[in-house]
Structures are given as structure tokens and as C-alpha cells.
Chain A
């Protein structure tokens, strides 16, 4: 029987339909998909989460460093800080670099030029300006943590004290208890600047400029005759012996 084109087309169409019906629903066991296929959003969320945690951690560390930088120690808890020291920014941050070197150099010299001014400021801030300089002088040196943080004191040479001054210092420590001192004098005076205008005016001008213009005075000559004691730079905090 001769096959016509119409028959052939019909047979092809039937064949196509049979193939389509057999294979359109055919399935082959597929390989397991990789997990990366299903987690584009989770990956992005994880990335943002990690970035957020890193930012929070960075802020925490920054805050911790800021707190540590602003409060290297807590001397005010132990002893009342004189107004002249607590008001100075260098008393908070402490000396560094050239200022520290200058302070070390000046501490090796028997330079006492800055002491009267500091004593006056200390008297004004801590004791209301009624105490004589002879009693305030060892009390300032007996404030180890405050001295460490103070550029003014280190620059003025107050770290090099005499043995005699140390003896009086101990005597002053025994009397200048931080708590009792706060009770004796007005607490606001110990924290806030002294109401004495002379002390306020003398404080900012004298303290930073003292290391640059050392001069031999009578105090210096007196101290030069005495053996000097150089205090270590890292004194233990905590005050009182």
C-alpha cells in the first residue's frame, strides 16, 4: 500500500503525541541541591547581621577606650583634688611626649619655681586658702595619682622632693584624710574652683609656662643643698600609705 503524505503527517502527529505523553511527565532522580541555592536572603541577612554586630562591637570598644582615656584612675575618690589640678585638662589626660620629657628633666633639677603657685592654688582649692604653704606643700606631693596625671606638677619639679619634705608629707597625709578633709572644709570648694580671684588668675598662666623658664630662686638654692629623691613615674594608685 502506498503511503500518502497525509498518512505520513497523521502518523508523525500520533508519534509526537505519544512521545509527548510519555516524556512530559517523566522524572529522573535529581541530585541534591547545594545549600547556597536556597539561602540568598539568609546570606544577605547574615551579612547585615555581622556588619551590625561589628558596628556595635566597634562602638563598645570606642566607648571603653573613651572612658579609659577620660578616667585613667579615680584619685578624687581617695583624696580631694585641688581645684587648680582638677580644673586643668592636663590633669585629666596626663602628660605625654615632650611635655613628659620636660617634666622628667625638670624633676631631675632642683627646680622649685612653680611650687609657691601650686601651693597657693592647692590651698585655695583644697583648704579654702586659709592653710599655710608649709602644710600644703607635702600634701600635694603626697597625692601620687594626682601628681602622675598632672602636667603642671611634673613640669614644676614637684616630683623631686627632699627627704625632709617626705617626712612632712607623711605628717600631712596623716592629717589630710580625704574623707575627713571633705568633712572639714566645704566640699564644693574642693571640687569647684576657689572663689579667691588671685588663685584663679595665677593658675592658668603659671602652670604651663613654668618648665620653659626655670630660674634659680631662693627655694631652689635651699633645695639644692638637700639630697633629692626622684619619684618613679608609675606610682601605685590608691593614695595614702
Chain B
């Protein structure tokens, strides 16, 4: 019993939990932040999973050939943004069904990344593990703010991008709440006719939101392949894009809530490791299921209407009723 207690409440176990939550939650945080902005602009981006996959692949390639992780992050963001252009073209400019195009993007990206990766790295695949490790030299120990020097053992020893991500959350929250652009984005989702009447292009505003979502999804994907996994697999994203969509919707349009949600999911992903430290036998599947169960329970019991922009997933056609 004392062993268990010291295991659970020991400082190192707690640190491992929080550090693990950050590690697993950061990609979700990026992706759901992007999705949140595009949802506020009225574009429900179901293609997030595909954009993350493209970002993961491009990030891997960028880090592999570019020699450092920043080339990888850049490539990942670029790839995510490029994929989101399809969404912009079809759904924002062309006013087609966002869900259909989103599913198409996810499916096509799943096929395309697996195929391209297979054709390009099929021979070198056996040595890929070492390739991945080469591409992240010393990344995990750059900024040490107070914690220990171990690469994974401290809350305050995180890759630099994690800090950038945290700053970004605050910036996005500020932009959405306090700036003209943020007002336009919210108007594009809530009442695009009003935005149009005010003389602001709905198409351009929604395009900004969508491309931001793609960029962030690509960033999250690149983080997964470069930092989390250190390699690319066709299962590297594994449904996290869809989780990010759910998180963004549950956040009811507020970036800080999407951060909290991402951390909750990250924690549940890392609880399994924590339980191992604490000597508790708990199924990882159960732990992973827990947050969804909790959220659904809250929805069923309290039956509150989740806030969603009223023009979400509705294409804007000027003059149409």
C-alpha cells in the first residue's frame, strides 16, 4: 500500500503524467486550434485527419532531407496549407458540401501519403528508425525552464515548439476576441450575410480560417512524425484528426478550452504510462475511452446545446436564401 501511494503521488510520477500529457496533447492542441478557427469562420473541416497526415509525411521528409526539425515543421505546415487549398477551392469558393469534400481529402491523403512514402522509402524503410532520430538532434532538451535536465522527465523540459504552441493559443484567443480580423472570422461563421453587407469578402475571410486550420493541422502532423514518433508510418496520425475535430467543437469556439481538452486527452493517453509507474493495472483502451465517455455523459445528463456557429458547414452563396 505504501508502495502504491508513493508510486502514485511521488513527484516523479506526477511529472511524468504532466510531461506525457503535454507530449501527447500538443499535436491535438495545434490541430484543434486550427479547426476551431475554421469552424468559427463557418467551415467544418472534416479533412483535418488528411491534412495532419500530409503534414506528418512532409514534416518527416523535410526533417530527413533538411537535416533539422525546423525544416520539417515548415514543410509540414506548408503541406497542410496546400491540402487546405483544395477545401478552400471546393467549399469556400465553390460552395460545395464541406463534409463530402472533407471525407474525400482524408481518404485521398491516407492513400497518397502511404503510396508516396512506400515508393520513396520502401528500400530504406528498415533503417528508418535511425533516420528519424537523426532528424531530431537535441530537440527535446533545448529550453530547460527550471526542471531537471532529463529529456522527458520534466514538465519544463519540452521541445521549443511546445512553448510556441502555448503562445499561439493566447495569440489566437486574442485575435479572435479583440481584433478586426477576429470579428470578421466570427461573423463569417455566425452571419455571413452581415459580413458581406459590411463589405468584407466572406470568401476571403473563410479562406483565411481554412488555410490556418490546414497549416495548424500540418504542424500537428509534423510534430507527430518528427517529435512523437521520430518516423513516418501510415498510422502515425491514427484518428487524432477526428479527435481534434471533436475537441474543437466541444471547445465552443474558445481556444483556451481547446487547449484544456487537448491536455485532457493527452493526459488520458499518458495515464497508462503513469499507471505503470504506480503499479496499477488498467486497460489503455479504457483510459483512452474515458474522456469521450465523460463528455457524452455530460451532454446526456445536462443536455446543453453545444454552441456552434449558426452558419457552420453551410456554404455561403451571395443572394441565396
> Do these two chains interact?
no
Residues of B within 8 A of A (CB): none
